[in-house]
Amino acid sequence: MPFQIVRNDITKMQVDAIVNTANPMPGYGSGVDTAVYKAAGVEELLAKRREIDVIDRGCSVITDGYRLPARYIIHTVGTAWQGGDHGEEDIIRSCYRSVFKVALDNGIETLAIPLLASGSYGFPKGIALRIALSEIEAFLADYDMELYLVVFDEKSFSLSSQLYGDIDAYINDNYVEERAKEEYNGPTAWLGGQPAGGAMMAQSMALAGDRHTGSLADAFHLDRKNRKNKKESARECREIMADHAAFDVAEDEAPLPEAPKSRPGKAKSLEEAVKNLDKTFMELVFSFADDRGLTDVEVQKRANLDRKAFSKLKCGTTRNPSKSTALALAIALELSLDDTKDLLSRAGLALSPCSKQDIIVQYFIEREVYDIYEINVALFEHKEQLLGCAAGSQ
């Protein structure tokens, strides 16, 4: 798989090389650096670092992995965040580029790298992530390598609200309500002796868990902390009240906002619609690719697929793709929502309002954001399978 995000201890990754955030001078500091030295063997690694001596900022060197599962360690030296006006971003970008060059020079095929500068160097995680994704994407556009972005724990990688502030609200509006209908048989079902109040009630109960035994208003207050749009929250509060027999809502209240609607794609001519009727999944993929002037290699890389997997689809060895692969190809081709649904149907698949993965992908398609790396960050944070590859750990 070309690129995956995994939650793991980087010192336990079974890859050709891991990346260490090193000090410029021989010795080791806090965070990843300390963990790498302890796992590799302090005496051996420190002796080698003294041989290497100073490493300039933005540069990288390679050593053996010693006691690590990884064969090599690539040490790169970043810089501390000073507000963004002192060339910090350029140095961190140089770190990524020098790491990739060292990896290529040493025949590395599988590489695990932490989110550089987001720890003790103090970079805002949103900025650190943007740098990482853009540099990784640029590198993989030209080279083939199995690359893992490794995060240690969930708390250190909570970024989707920074990148896309309304994504959680969108998921709640489009997913929680459907799950509530599915699990509790619609808004008239009873939850703990009280009639359910639609999406927000289900969400509030889920957030509260077994610990919460307070009133409906308390449940809404807990949920409201997680919503950035206060006006929307107020309207949804009225929705809860309307469903709850204990409240009276005036008939002249402002109407509730409608559920988000997908953007209509460019209208197809009858000829365009008819000519695609008999196409298989991959025939339609190549038809869209031709229309957009994309080569097979460009489609493969933009879909975050390795060459072998794409070749099997292309040659018919794999007749129909997985849902993750099909969605990845739709993103690679920058399809509208209607075209995405059409493509999925050729493989016997469909977007489901009860699938959080589908809702998240639909969110990005509706906003015409087709960067598969950013989409996979959102999927990773919500514990959903990544597009183009299987989310897993080493």
The alpha helices in the chain, defined as continuous H runs, are 32-40, 42-52, 88-105, 125-142, 160-163, 167-171, 177-184, 198-208, 216-224, 230-243, 270-275, 281-292, 296-302, 307-315, 323-332, 337-345, 356-366, 372-381
Can you tell me which residue has the tokens 């950013």? 374
Active site residue 218: no
Nearest to 136 by CA among 386, 371, 388: 371
DSSP-based three-state secondary structure for 379: helix
* Kind of pairing between the strands at 17-21 and 110-114: parallel
Q: What is the DSSP letter of 260?
A: P
Yes or no: say if 240 and 220 are a contact pair by the CB < 8 Å rule.
yes
How far are the Cα atoms of 1, 128, 209, 227, 377 from residue 157, in angstroms, in the given order?
A: 21, 11, 23, 19, 9
Amino acid at 53: D
Q: Residue 154, Cβ neighbours under 10 Å: how many?
A: 11
Q: How far apart are CA 22 and CA 219, in angstroms?
A: 46
Residues in Cβ contact with 240 at an 8 Å cutoff, skipping those fewer than 6 apart: 197, 198, 200, 201, 204, 216, 220
For the chain, the straight-line distance linking the first and the last C-alpha, in angstroms and rounded, comes to 13
State residue 244 phi and psi, 5-degree precision.
Answer: -100, 125
Can you tell me which residue has the tokens 């919503």? 227
Q: How far apart are CA 44 and CA 106, in angstroms?
A: 21
DSSP-based three-state secondary structure for 21: strand
Which of the residues 9, 16, 33, 252 is marked catalytic? 33
Can you tell me which residue has the tokens 């970024």? 159
| Residue 11 Cα to chain centre, angstroms | 22
Positions marked catalytic: 33
